[in-house]
Amino acid sequence: MIFTIHMGVPEMRALWDDLLARGQRGKLSGEERIFFNKWSKALDLLSGNPRHPGLRTHEIDDLSRKFGVKVWQSYLKNRKSDALRMFWAYGPQRHDITILAVERHPDTGKRKVYERIPLSRFPSSPSRSQGRN
């Protein structure tokens, strides 16, 4: 099954559109280009198989409780110094996935660390929307 990937609004949509536009003009820094390539690869894997072993996907219970929808975390980079995670949820429609955030891996030793991660909203949908807490 192939999933359609959506960017959460407004933050993820703005970030993706900016990176895409500047990438097409050759205006990304080296670090931005690496990030964009890793994110693009992760999105390709996610759309084909959200449980792809390379993504190491798992639910983040704290975020699921806070936002009232199952929120999943997948890996973009896993080096300790600059580990990046992509947070996403199924929806707004069947066979859709919405990217809600891309963040540095939180310091899991701290209390309620995941609750501090800001998430974008689902794009407009007649059947489902997500409020922002």
Q: What is the pLDDT of residue 1?
A: 83
The DSSP secondary-structure symbol of 51 reads T
Specify the DSSP class assigned to residue 30: H
pTM of the model: 0.87
Q: Assign 24 to helix, strand or coil.
A: helix
Q: How far is the C-alpha of 37 from the C-alpha of 127, rounded, in Å? A: 33
Question: What domains sit in the chain, N to C, each tagged with a CATH number?
Answer: 4-116 (3.30.2310.20)
SS3 105: coil
Q: What's the pLDDT at 110?
A: 59
Helix H or strand E segment including 84: strand 84-90
How far is 95 from 80, CA to CA, in rounded Å? 33
Q: Is 83 in contact with 66 (CB distance < 8 Å)?
A: no
pLDDT at 82: 72
* Cα–Cα dist 99/1, whole Å: 18
Average model confidence (pLDDT) across the chain = 87
pLDDT of amino acid 70: 97
Instruction: List the structure tokens of 39.
Output: 């994110």
